[in-house]
Amino acid sequence: MARIFFNGQAMVGGPFHHSVADALIGPVTTAPGYRFFSIRDECPGLLPAPEVDTAIEGELYDVTLEHLRDVILPGEPLELELGIIELADGSPCLSMVLARGELERGVHKEITEYGGWRSYLATLGRTA
């Protein structure tokens, strides 16, 4: 089993939640030290940034490694990669993070100020 933090379309109410619904542990936030980006307004990208004091909202899931390999990872956009983050309680877990080199491309809108994907989507008049 692998604990993984989701902060976008796999969360409750999102279009991909059905694929992980039975693995939901509950809502959590990251520890401070993360920036957040919108990838084409389709999904978010988390970026570890120790120089900032922001935490990002999401949900924690406990999935099998097979499900991670066979279902979750193949559906992730190329702009994201699997990484390890820190949650507010200090524990580590997996998460999809902005892939190396993506920040430097300068094409992703920073949405850190919203603190989470749902808050950002609300500014677009969307819920998922």
Amino acid 128: pLDDT: 81
The mean per-residue pLDDT over the stretch 86-103 comes to 98
Average model confidence (pLDDT) across the chain = 97
The mean per-residue pLDDT over the stretch 58-83 comes to 97
Structural domains of the chain sorted by starting position, each given as residue range(s) with its CATH number in brackets: 2-123 (3.10.490.10)
Cβ–Cβ < 8 Å for 1, 63:
yes
Confidence of residue 27 (pLDDT cuts 50, 70, 90): very high
Instruction: Pick the range with the lowest mean pLDDT from 13-17, 28-32, 53-57, 124-128.
Output: 124-128
**What percent of the chain lies above the pLDDT cut of 70?**
100
> How many residues comprise the chain?
128
Dihedral through CA 76, CA 17, CA 83, CA 80, nearest 10?
30
How confident is the model over 97-126, as pLDDT tens digits? 999 999 999 999 999 999 999 999 999 999
Amino acid 72: pLDDT: 96
